[in-house]
Amino acid sequence: MKIIRTPRSMAAWSERLRREGVTIGFVPTMGALHDGHRSLIRAARLRCDALVVSIFVNPTQFSQTEDLSTYPRPIARDRALCREEGVDVCFEPTAPAMYPEGFETTVTVPALARRWEGEARPHHFAGVATVVTKLFGMVQPHLALFGQKDYQQAALIRQLVSDLNLGVAIRVLPTVRERDGLAMSSRNVYLSPDERRIAPLLFQALRTGRLMIEGGMSDVAAIERIMRQTIEQAPTIHVEHLAVCDPDSLEPLSVVADRAVLLGAVRIGSIRLIDNLLVNVPGGKSGTTR
Ligand code: AMP
């Protein structure tokens, strides 16, 4: 496995392979790799001739009060996982190489970034959209894979790839979970044993919501209330949002008819966890947005 550190060498490697007709798959990450990342890497490995994984803790998607300096960076373990999975290039650019002095441009997708994660983390999605656009420019992949775990992020990336004609195929793969349902996340390591015990309540609430919808309940206010009650069994979890939304626009629904995405975010102590579930109502018609 090759380790590439500069944008220029990354682009040169990709240009050479593209000239030879090799298809390039790409999995962008912030490292601290777990089985969620591994599932994206494996899927990409099967679909492409060459595979690039980037590891870059992107400073512009963290706010001042967030965990940029303490974000886990187990680089030796991450490289070992990449080697094990047959990755060809681990791309590890530095922040100054990504954002040299004089860097000016920001990519934004305002409508999709406005609510939910975007509301809680105002500059987050501009940071994500900009870094992903830059990484695509360097890696020049044919295919890039993302996790459903970050549903709003995946929606935003599909939109920007289409709007900017980036010519990268996007695939979004299901969330990989721990045995008790907690979505795998690099941030789960911060949870104390007591916090870890109650963390699966977020998934349980979303699953309760999905069961209610699949069972024929369409009243969103009632569904949201019951989901919230599921979480509030534990007084130390604070609900940030739990919403039943249109899966494409992410606008909140007032009535569920055919498809919905349930989006959730909670805070346990200083840790923020997100999760989501898609729901299909068999034989349903379009829903109504609020
Ligand atoms: P991150 O390193 O957190 O920026 O995530 C890199 C990629 O892995 C993103 O596309 C995430 O959505 C995806 N990912 C993170 N956690 C999971 C998970 N539990 N299951 C599937 N994909 C995930």
How far apart CA 10 and CA 2 sit, in angstroms, is 10
Residues sharing a CB contact under 8 Å with residue 230, sequence separation 6 or more, in sequence order: 201, 204, 205, 208
Q: Which among 264, 263, 265, 259 has a CA at the least distance from the CA of 279?
A: 259
Average pLDDT, the chain: 96
Per-residue pLDDT at 29: 98
Backbone region of residue 116 per phi and psi (left: phi > 0; alpha: psi in -120 to 50; beta: other values): left
State yes or no: is 124 an active-site residue.
no
Task: Determine contact, residues 210/282, Cβ cutoff 8 Å.
Answer: no
Question: Catalytic pick from 34, 37, 142, 241?
Answer: 37
Report the residue among 29, 35, 202, 275 best suited for mutation to probe ligand 1: largest number of ligand atoms under 8 A from its CB: 29
Ligand 1 pocket (Cβ < 6 Å) reads 29-30, 36-37, 39-40, 146-147, 149-150, 175-176, 183-186
pLDDT mean over 199-210: 98
| 216-274 pLDDT tens trace | 999 999 999 999 999 999 999 999 999 999 999 999 999 998 999 999 999 999 999 99
What's CA 133's distance to the chain center, in Å? 15
- What is the rounded distance in angstroms from the CA atom of residue 14 to the CA atom of residue 131? 18
**Which pLDDT value is given to residue 261?**
98
In the structure, what pLDDT confidence band is assigned to residue 45 with cuts at 50, 70 and 90? very high
Report which residue type is found at 102: G
Is pLDDT of 162 > 90? Answer: yes
Three-state SS at 180? coil
Q: Which residues contact 19 (CB under 8 A, 6 or more apart)?
A: none
For residue 287, what pLDDT band results from cuts at 50, 70 and 90? low
Dihedral sign from CA coordinates of 90, 100, 133, 63: positive
Confidence band (pLDDT; 50, 70, 90) for 281? confident
- pTM for the structure as a whole: 0.97
> Model confidence over 51-99: pLDDT tens digits?
999 999 999 999 999 989 999 999 999 999 999 999 999 999 999 999 9
Residue whose CA is at the smallest distance from ligand 1 atom 10: 146
Nearest to 38 by CA among 170, 136, 156, 145: 145
pLDDT at res. 286: 63
Mean pLDDT calculated for residue range 196-223? 96
